[in-house]
Amino acid sequence: MPIPDPRANEKKDTYISRCMETVTRNEKKRFPQEDQRAAICYSTWDRWQKEHGHPEKAES
């Protein structure tokens, strides 16, 4: 399963939590260490923010 992308208007903390749950559930064998999974989620967040050109927004 692919790493989830942030949703529009999703806060960083909410995304990281959702991403970590998904990666832990589906990719734990591939990424056995929690810090590896966290790095994937944080880098995905940073890439998405850069590509979409807007700062973190509040959730609706």
Over residues 8-38, the pLDDT tens digits come to 889 999 999 999 999 999 999 999 999 999 9
29 within 8 A of 23, measured Cβ to Cβ: no
Q: pTM for this one?
A: 0.83
**Cα distance from N-terminal residue to C-terminal residue, the chain:** 27
Phi and psi (nearest 5°) for 22?
Answer: -65, -50
